[in-house]
Every structure is written in C-alpha cells, then in structure tokens.
Chains A and B, each alone.
Chain A
Amino acid sequence: MVDFLIGLFLATLITALFTTRLYRLLFWYALNSLTLGLLALTIGSRLHDRAMLLSGALTILLKAGVIPYILKVLSRKFELVRQIPPSIKTQYAIMLVPAILVFTFYLAEPISHMVQGNANYVAVSISSLFLSLLLMIEHRNVAPKIVGFLSMENALFLLGTTATEGMPMLVELGIFFDLLMAIVVINLLLYREEAQS
C-alpha cells in the first residue's frame, strides 16, 4: 500500500511538470498532497503513532484542501496568467526527467543504506525534491513557482516521515505554520507586484 502511494506521489508530481494550465497544476498539487497525507496516515497507523496520524490528517486538510483553494482564490483576485507553458520544451523535459530520476536514485543509494526499513522512500523523496526544483525552474510566472516551492515542501515532508519514522510533533506543527505564513507572504508579494505594475 505504501509503495502504491509512493508511486502515486511521484506520478502526480511528474504529471504536474508537464501541465500547461494553472488550475490543472493546482489540482495535481492537491492530489500530490492527498497521497502524501494518506501515506502519513498509513505509516502512522502501522506504527501506532498518534502524532503522525494527526499530521497526516492536517496534511490532507491543509495542503490538499485549503492551500490549493487559497491559491485559486488569489489567482482569481490578481488575475494571474492561467496559461503557463513551461519554458523548457516538453521534448527536452522528456529526456531531462528520466535523467534526473536515474541520477537521484543512484545519488540516494549511500543514504538509503543508512536508513533501516523504508530505504526506497528516501530515493523517491530526494528525486521529487529535484523534480519540484525543476518545476520552479521551468516556469517564468510566479504562480507555478509557488506551487514548485510547495511541492518541494511536500518532498521534505515525505523524507521526514519515511526516513525518520516520524518527526517530533512540534517540528511538524511548526512546518505547517510556516507554510501558512508563506501563503500570507505570497499574498503580500502579489499585492506589491500589483501596486508596482
């Protein structure tokens, strides 16, 4: 089950890389976060870790529900461009994405020897970290860059849950709070851009 969710996590991220419409991108981000939350719930229920269950539920609630909704509202409010063709052509991205995946899978090999149990998940989370970096690089508009940043955070969360079998609750709550703050900051940033233009 965990393997299936990990696969779905990577698949939604790769699909997000090839998306050219903003709302579709937000949808894929929400699906990505949903799989992440379900992953945390599955691992949490296996370890009987109530803190992880709580953080999984919070992930589903915040990242799969509230944050995409807020971003959608913001993009409506500031009339952001909804056509977001990646500046890296799809033909090149088709070669780049497998190259990144192979590279990171081998890169993570020494690290995954240190982790007991879920060794694969470290490789998948590091590769999704690189892929979300690519998502930030390949777009010129601000909205997909924000989504790239948020998916990078998702990748780090995946690394945290799978590699360490659950970070302390306080850290995770702090991250959630940070994320909401980031959304507020993004809101302010968009306001500034609006004022300048």
Chain B
Amino acid sequence: MSALLLYFLTIALMVFLAPLLLSFIKGVKMWLLYKRPVSITQGYRDFAKLLCKESVISREASAITRVAPFLVLAPLVVVLFYLPPAVKGAYYVSFVDAFTITGLLALSTFFLMLLGLDSASSFGGMGASREAFISALVEPAMVLTIFGVSMMAGDLGVGQAGVNLAEHFPSEHMASFLFAAISFFILLIAENGRIPVDNPETHLELTMVHEAMILDITGVYLALIESAASLKFVIFASLFAGLFLPFGPELAWPLALLVFVGKLFAVALAVALIEVNTAKLRLFKVPNLLGIAIVFAFLSLITFYVLGA
C-alpha cells in the first residue's frame, strides 16, 4: 500500500478510535466497581446526540464562545498529522520537534481557558485558573521527557525519533528510557485530566477542572470540545505507544495497525486501573505529582548523559 494512503488511514483510525477509548476507560472502571458498564459505543452516541441539540449561548458571552471551540479542536487535529507512524513505510513528518507539539497542545489549552473565562460564570474562571496552574507545571516536564527520548533515539523530530526507536531499540539505554516512560505516563494522566489530577466524571465545584470550563457550553460546541478531549487522549496514547512501546511497525500493515490499536487500548487499560486504585489529589498536592514527573524526566537525562545507561 502506498505510504501516503497508510498515513491517512492511521490518522482516520485514530480519529475513529478516540471516543471509543474514553468509553472503554469508563466501562472498565464501572466494571471494576461492580456497576453495569456503559456500552463501548457510548462516545459516538453522545456525539450524535449533541450534534442534534440546539446550542444555547449565554447573553454575556462574546464572539469568542462561537470561535473558541473550533480553535480548541484545530491544533489537536494538526498534531495528529505529526505523530510517529504506526506502520513501517508509512509517510511521516520527520522535522516536527517536541516544542512544536507541546506548543500546539498549549495553544489548544489556551483557547479552552479563554472559553472558560468568556462565559462570565464564576466556575469558568475558577476552572481556567486551575487549568493554567496545571498546564504550566506540565510543560517543562513534557519538554524534558520528549527531549530525553529524542536524545536516545538520535533525532529531535518526534516522528523520526519513533521510526529510529522502532528500527534500532537502544537497549543499552534501557534505564533512562524507563525513567522517561514513567515521567511521560504521569504527564499523560495530568494533561488529560484523569483521576489523580482531575476527575472527569464529577460536577462537584471543589474538584472540577475541565468540566468547570465547559459548563456553559452546549450543543455542537460541546460536541467539538468533547471530541477535542478524546483526541487529546488518543494523541498522548499514541505518543506513548510510538515512543515508549516501539515494537510492531515492522510487521505487515494490517497486523501493525492491529498491534498499534492494541497498544492504545493497553494504555487506556493502565489509565483505568490507576483511576480505580487511587484517590483524587487535592489541587495543591498536584504540583508534588508533577514534581515527581520532573524528577524522573531529569533523572532520565542525567542517567543518559553521565552514566550512558
């Protein structure tokens, strides 16, 4: 199959899987808590339902509320094109580095915060300030981690790093690789607002972060925001799969895609297990968790430089 076709097939698959993964996490959690799990297709149903609904916009809201949902989604869609390839021989963008990806994610978060502030409710402002607090702490660790992995892979471009890792796995740098993986997993949880940092299912004013910002959003706009959240998860999961579980792309393309989907579901399962087993952290303890992520990211770099292990 041609390289470009595989590239677009992978992206389409990721877009298709994005709501499925979040419903899967929810289902696993409910099943482990002895509840009757939601259907795995619930994400699509919610999306379809929100598309049919009328969208109500607050009288105080400015034009930003109409524009921002698209601008929340757009950078994430762009990032989808820059991810490491899931199949060997597929087309990929080699020159985009960690800073670009982190910057695009931050741009999406910025518009989400603007949206929260624009609704002029007290919840929106609160959620936006919390989101700013968390994402400011995530960024240094994120850059350090992807930078460390890029050093091990021998290329600063994220896509190229994934290809290099799949072709020649640096087993002599296994220790620093492991530290980077731990750090990145903590970041995955923090950026996607999963349980130790934020509870995506609650509407309690003390704990809301993401939900507080989108409390006033309805209809199509809510559908856009929700799909942005699921795309963000799939981006992080596929970054984890591409950089830290670099096996599988050398197989024949249907099999390689299957392995890729399996890895995404494995990441989702790990997130679900962590969610069931831990309590949500108080907001002012979140810096401690992200500090641990920074420690591991830094450790990965110094282990690589000083020990070469």
Contact = CB atoms under 8 A, between A and B. Distances in A.
B178 A105 contact: no
Interface stretch (B115-123, B168-176, B198-206, B229-237): B168-176
Contacts of B244: none
A98 interface: yes
A4 B291 contact: no
Q: How many A residues are at the interface, by size bracket?
A: 20 to 34
Interface stretch (A7-15, A48-56, A73-81): A7-15
Interface stretch (A89-97, A164-172, A178-186, A189-197): A89-97
Contacts of B182: 11
A58 interface: no
B178 A120 contact: no
Contacts of A3: 171-175, 309
Given A11-B182, A98-B295, A105 B302 contact: yes
B288 A90 contact: yes
B89 interface: no
Interface string A99-117: 0011001100100000000
Interface in A1-27: 1, 3-4, 6-8, 10-11, 14-15, 18
Contacts of A14: 292, 295-296, 299
Contacts of A6: 175, 309
Interface in B218-244: none
Q: How would you classify the secondary structure of chain A's contact residues: helix, strand, loop or mixed?
A: helix
Given A101-B302, A102-B302, A94 B294 contact: yes
B308 interface: yes
B292 A120 contact: no
Nearest to B291: A94
Contact of B295 (A97, A109, A120, A124): A97
B165 to A, nearest CB: 15
Given A11-B179, A106-B306, A124-B175, 15 more contacts: A3-B175, A3-B309, A6-B175, A7-B177, A10-B175, A15-B292, A18-B292, A91-B288, A94-B288, A94-B292, A98-B299, A102-B302, A105-B302, A105-B307, A120-B308
27 contacts: A1-B174, A3-B171, A3-B175, A6-B175, A6-B309, A7-B175, A7-B303, A7-B309, A10-B175, A10-B299, A11-B179, A11-B182, A11-B296, A14-B292, A14-B295, A14-B296, A14-B299, A18-B288, A18-B292, A90-B288, A94-B294, A94-B295, A98-B299, A105-B307, A106-B306, A120-B307, A120-B308
